[in-house]
Amino acid sequence: MDKSRRKALQFSGIVAATAATSVYGSTSNKESTKSKDTYKAPIAETKKPRVVVVGGGWSGLSIAKYTKIFAPNSDVILVEQRHEFISCPMSNLWLVDKVKLEYLTHDYLQAARENNYTYFHATAIGLDRKKRILETSNGDIKFDYLVFAPGIDYDYSRWTKDIAFETRLRQEYPAGFIPGSEHISLKNKIQNFKGGNFILTVPSGNYRCLPAPYERACIIADYFKQKKLKAKVILLDENNTITIKKKGFQSAFDKLYSDYIEYLPNTKINNIDLDNKIVETDFDEISFEDAAFYPHVRGAKILERAGVAKDAKNMLEGDINPLTYEVNGEKNIFVTGDSRPMGFSKSGNTSNSEGHFVAKLIAQKINKTEKVKWQSPTTTCFSVVSIAPERAIYIYSQYAYNKADASFSFDSTSDSENWVKDGATNSDSVYRWASALYTDMFTNK
Ligand SMILES: Cc1cc2nc3c(=O)[nH]c(=O)nc-3n(C[C@H](O)[C@H](O)[C@H](O)COP(=O)(O)OP(=O)(O)OC[C@H]3O[C@@H](n4cnc5c(N)ncnc54)[C@H](O)[C@@H]3O)c2cc1C
């Protein structure tokens, strides 16, 4: 390391150390005396039990609303880093202009107003467990109960350890599985595509929204087909088969898109040559004109930073009791939603229904009432397989807990994958489902 860089690092180390001690420490220099108040979040004091929820997604919104309903005497703060909510579910339809951005976008202020909690715009950056303080970019918040519902982050490390290369992948070929700019980039790529190969990937493991990459392949293929483009969606799947709704997706690939989708299961990517636009797999070298590379997922980074993640299978999800959602060794900190370690489907419906249950658990502690029995979350998931005419397939499932080996399995599953027969009816239900869930999260109904 050269001298100037070492100096710069030493300097930033000193700054970091000073900042850290000035928050809670007892250093006597002048800077630190004013910092105690400076770092307090601008939130009114309360005598009520305070529940702080990190993450205003499908899980956090549900927990904030229902905790307030089940424990009206609580003070609930929703800490969210985004200014507005943009829905991942239904976003594949927006990519091809089937719904508008307004349809996906929702108002945190409305959700908080109608459900009597506080929306606090900030990023959670740390946790002082002993003092029960959540540290955020906009100050510290004291809590009695804390829920982490921060969703996922991407894990590119299985493709590359080279950060510069990872940055190029994130920027030039975003996955489009965390909403915002990634989705906008993807939409522009699809709508400006002139022809050739458009690569999509499916990671292995319990990735976010099992059916979404297959649904996305169908919707993009439908778009290319309608535009009569000489184009192909190449779907590189690390899994040895379609991971969910296999009958429905496979028949859509075969019957509707045989000229537009090339599905390659069991395909591990060994290298991506970004300059020459070639993906190297065990069997092939595939050239591409454009792509969205979906890497493996892991629990959102704040879990690791707050010391509540466990490193099982590199997923870095919450280190929790799977029946009570409590962080191991803590009775008042919880991890929920897509950052839970249980193998439930990482879906919005799962997170929302689970949120209702976790709110009951927290309310039970606040109200000091009888223990609440474990309830299964519900996975209800619709996938659109064609746009014109619009047809969809769907799956419903709950989960059973197997005491003997402390695991979960699918229970009471049903599906409707015959899109020729039921596709139009399922397609109406897609909008009814979304409307019901948005109403649940953003209004008091
Ligand atoms: C393309 C696509 C299609 C999908 N389709 C469906 C579908 O049809 N049906 C379905 O049920 N599910 C679907 N899903 C899955 C669904 O979107 C996720 O499972 C769901 O969003 C998970 O909810 P969550 O609350 O755990 O995480 P999120 O919804 O991601 O919410 C996490 C929130 O935490 C915030 N956050 C993170 N870190 C911090 C921090 N440090 N401080 C403050 N805030 C923080 C984030 O900004 C985010 O708002 C789809 C997903 C995608 C990508």
Would you say the CATH fold of 156-297 matches that of 50-151+300-374? Answer: yes
- Ligand 1 close to Cβ of residue 348 (< 6 A): yes
Residue 317 Cα, ligand 1 centroid: separation in angstroms? 14
CA-closest candidate to residue 86, choices 114, 56, 111, 41: 56
Place of tokens 């956090």: 60
- Ligand 1 close to Cβ of residue 395 (< 6 A): no
Which atom of ligand 1 is closest in space to residue 350's alpha carbon?
11
Which atom of ligand 1 is closest in space to residue 349's alpha carbon?
11
Residue 330 three-state SS: coil
Written as one string, the DSSP assignment of 239-298 is: SSS-SSSHHHHHHHHHHH-TTTEEEE-S--EEEEETTTTEEEESS-EEE-SEEE---EEE
Atom 19 of ligand 1, residue of closest alpha carbon: 347
Atom 37 of ligand 1, residue of closest alpha carbon: 150
- Ligand 1 close to Cβ of residue 426 (< 6 A): no
Atom 45 of ligand 1, residue of closest alpha carbon: 55
Q: Which CATH superfamily is domain 156-297 in?
A: FAD/NAD(P)-binding domain (3.50.50.60)
How much is the pLDDT for 326?
A: 98
- To test the ligand 1 pocket, which listed residue (82, 351, 384, 440) has its Cβ within 8 A of the most ligand atoms? 351
Distances (CA, A) of 81 to 42, 53, 306: 16, 12, 16
Which atom of ligand 1 is closest in space to residue 55's alpha carbon?
34
Could you list the pLDDT tens digit for every one of the 445 residues in the chain? 444 444 333 333 333 333 333 333 333 444 444 455 569 999 999 999 999 999 999 999 999 999 999 999 999 999 999 999 999 999 999 999 999 999 999 999 999 999 999 999 999 999 999 999 999 999 999 999 999 999 999 999 999 999 999 999 999 999 999 999 999 999 999 999 999 999 999 999 999 999 999 999 999 999 999 999 999 999 999 999 999 999 999 999 999 999 999 999 999 999 999 999 999 999 899 999 999 999 999 999 999 999 999 988 889 999 999 999 999 999 999 999 999 999 999 999 999 999 999 999 999 999 999 999 999 999 999 999 999 899 999 999 999 999 999 899 999 899 999 999 999 999 999 999 999 999 999 999 9
Interatomic CA distance for residues 249 and 340, integer angstroms: 27
Interatomic CA distance for residues 136 and 125, integer angstroms: 5
Written as one string, the DSSP assignment of 153-177 is: EEEGGGT-S-HHHHHHHHHHS----
- Ligand 1 close to Cβ of residue 187 (< 6 A): no
Residue type, 243: T
Dihedral sign of CA atoms 63, 211, 390, 90 in order: positive
Dihedral sign of CA atoms 332, 338, 343, 346 in order: positive
- Ligand 1 close to Cβ of residue 248 (< 6 A): no
- To test the ligand 1 pocket, which listed residue (61, 92, 209) has its Cβ within 8 A of the most ligand atoms? 209
Tokens standing for 297? 């997922």
Atom 31 of ligand 1, residue of closest alpha carbon: 57
- To test the ligand 1 pocket, which listed residue (58, 394, 440) has its Cβ within 8 A of the most ligand atoms? 58
- Ligand 1 close to Cβ of residue 58 (< 6 A): yes
Residue 369 Cα, ligand 1 centroid: separation in angstroms? 31
- Ligand 1 close to Cβ of residue 299 (< 6 A): no
Cβ atoms of 166 and 314 closer than 8 Å: no
- To test the ligand 1 pocket, which listed residue (88, 106, 218, 303) has its Cβ within 8 A of the most ligand atoms? 88
Angle formed at CA 202 by CA 217 and CA 147, multiple of 5 degrees: 110
- Ligand 1 close to Cβ of residue 338 (< 6 A): yes
The residues, any chain, with a CB within 8 Å of residue 296's CB and separated by 6 or more, are 154, 155, 156, 158, 203, 204, 205, 207, 314
Burial bucket for residue 206 (CB in 10 Å: 0-12, 13-18, 19+): buried
Domain boundaries along the sequence of the chain: 15-40, 50-151+300-374, 156-297
Residue 425 half-sphere exposure, CB side, CA atoms within 13 Å? 6
CATH number attached to the domain at 50-151+300-374: 3.50.50.60
How much is the pLDDT for 37?
A: 54
